[in-house]
Amino acid sequence: MAGIDGIIYLILIACILPYVFTIIAKVAGGFTIADNQNPREFLAKTTGLAARANAVQQNSFESLPLFIAAILMAEYMVVSQHLIMMLGIAYIVLRIIYAICYLANISTLRSIIWFLSMACPILLLLLIIRMI
For residue 85, what pLDDT is reported?
95
pLDDT tens, residue by residue, 8-65: 999 999 999 999 999 999 999 998 887 788 888 999 999 999 999 999 999 999 999 9
Find all residues with CB under 8 Å of 22, minimum gap 6, and list them.
43, 53, 54, 57
Predicted confidence (pLDDT) at residue 132 exceeds the cutoff of 90: no
- What per-residue confidence (pLDDT) applies to 1? 53
pLDDT in tens, 86-112: 999 999 999 999 999 999 999 999 999
CATH of segment(s) 3-131:
1.20.120.550
Confidence of residue 2 (pLDDT cuts 50, 70, 90): low
How far is Cα 30 from Cα 55, in angstroms, rounded to an integer? 16
Q: Domain spans of the chain?
A: 3-131
The predicted model scores a pTM of 0.92
Concatenated DSSP letters of 52-80: HHHHHHHHHHHHHHHHHHHHHHHHHTT--
pLDDT at 30 (0 to 100)? 92
How far, in Å, CA of 18 to CA of 58, rounded? 7
Per-residue pLDDT band for 122 (boundaries 50, 70, 90) equals very high
In this prediction, residues 73-93 reach a mean pLDDT of 95
pLDDT for 32: 87
